[in-house]
Amino acid sequence: MPLLDNYNNDNIFAKIIRGEMPCHKIYEDEGVLSFLDIFPQSEGHTIVIPKKPSRNLLGTNAKDIGRVFGAVQRISKAINAALNPDGITITQFNGSAAGQTVFHTHVHIIPCYNKKTTISHNEEKSTIADEKLVVLAKQIASKL
């Protein structure tokens, strides 16, 4: 499937933006939304998305990319302050062949810990209890 195909307004991130699906919000402004991944690769795995519809980075307005990556930096600093990981992976996928599974532009911020295993993006998904996600979201957001 080509990387610049039409945007699907029924993807999960579009539903989250419209308030049709819940999320554990970390940050929001007029153009960007950030929330915890419900299938995290590690504790504190966060997603950052533009609110404007775009399938992937190749179809995203340059100004929106700037806003998203500005938020990625701020949120990464907050994750670092709140969770004290040993490292942070920041990654972004474009197209199913590259590993993209939700076709709305998004960036993953994945805290990495020396003594904990990080689950690969394509491996079986882990889950964290909703109560723990609520605590994590508040903990990270408090550092913004």
**Active-site residue list:** 106
- How far is residue 10's CA from residue 133's CA, in Å, rounded to a whole number? 24
Beta bridge partners of 33: 28, 49
Instruction: Give the containing element (helix H, strand E) for 15.
Output: helix 12-17
Distance CA 63, CA 136 (A): 29
Torsion over CA of 91, 17, 42 and 67, rounded to 10 degrees?
40
φ, ψ for residue 93, nearest 5 deg: -115, 145
Which is nearest to 76 in space by CA: 90, 60, 65, 92? 90
- Using N-to-C axis directions, what is the helix angle for 62-83 and 130-141, rounded to 10°? 100
